[in-house]
Structure 1
């Protein structure tokens, strides 16, 4: 199908559903994640207690969390300042530039990482172009930054086409998403 490049490898409710045990079981060494509405709600720059706990557990287990964002360096630096995570800004998603930079700089294989994001047109497409598994999450809040409205409109049309052919996407735990993919 023409839209296969927009189909995520996995779908989970949120980045917090990526448990350390399941990540390790699947050989994941780094979680690459979008910033706005994936890791942080764009209007909540401090993040939630749940986010801070997930980051603490993930990092303590030896799994890196790296933000791959289309935002400016200043914006991303400010947003992740209190999170103690590395980042790549101006990644130009859907181009794979940011993802490939992380793979190269950290000497990671494509199967060692997951790219997590809330948008098919940027995050999922970029992961396909980079050859890494993608995880589509529900956006943290329904409202988006003003720049995102066109992407959301196009994405909704693409989802309708994908769902018509393949059925709806179910957001689940990572363990169940991996199992469903294997079945």
Structure 2
């Protein structure tokens, strides 16, 4: 059960205190796209997302996008961000997370994984030994399978809310 619990739960990526992360010794960010950065099926990063990526780069963070989505989707989305990116990751497998760690020349204990799904992003990050942040999904529109998994996630979220 502990592998399913995030270290932090926030409404959006904009609620993450980047200075606090840096003060924890975090130097690298792994982040999901769909329903974490933008609504599912949104093709391009918004100005706010582009600005957030500029800010994390200015603060000295390295960054890698990890998505279970297609190469075309990830490449198109990453065009304006220009960070490392991994497509068809099959999260929560460790392999894409380890690949991201290698790209960024860092270690799991210096990495944060940010995403909207417990069974992919948070489980994958926790299996890696990274700091994990769960964000509230941006949109209700999602892939069919994700809607089913969300029902299980609701049970876990109730436990998180009791702790907080």
Query: CA contact under 8 A between 2:116 and 2:135: conserved in structure 1?
Result: yes
Give the alignment of 1:59-138 within 5 angstroms. 59-138=57-136
- Return 5+ residue gaps in structure 1 as ranges: 170-183
Cα distance in 1 between the residues matched to 2:130 and 2:22: 16
Query: What is the match of residue 162 of structure 2?
Result: 167
Divergent runs of 4+, >4 A: none
- Structure 1 residues 159 and 135: CA distance shift in structure 2, 3 A: same
Q: Secondary structure at the match of 1:167?
A: helix
Query: What is the match of residue 31 of structure 1?
Result: 29
TM normalised by structure 1 equals 0.80
Cα distance in 2 between the residues matched to 1:127 and 1:90: 16
Tell me by how many angstroms 1:75 deviates: 2.0
Paired residues in the alignment total: 164
Tell me by how many angstroms 1:74 deviates: 2.2
Query: CA contact under 8 A between 2:68 and 2:88: conserved in structure 1?
Result: yes
Residue-by-residue CA offset, 1:118-148 (whole Å, 9 max, x unaligned): 0101111111111111100111122223341
Cα distance in 1 between the residues matched to 2:72 and 2:99: 19
Query: What is the match of residue 41 of structure 2?
Result: 43
Larger radius of gyration: 1
Q: Secondary structure at the match of 2:156?
A: helix
- Return 5+ residue gaps in structure 2 as ranges: none
Cα distance in 2 between the residues matched to 1:63 and 1:18: 14
Tell me by how many angstroms 1:168 deviates: 5.3
Cα distance in 2 between the residues matched to 1:141 and 1:85: 24
Query: What is the match of residue 20 of structure 2?
Result: 22
- Structure 1 residues 129 and 16: CA distance shift in structure 2, 3 A: same
TM normalised by structure 2 equals 0.89
Cα distance in 1 between the residues matched to 2:9 and 2:103: 27
Cα distance in 1 between the residues matched to 2:16 and 2:61: 11
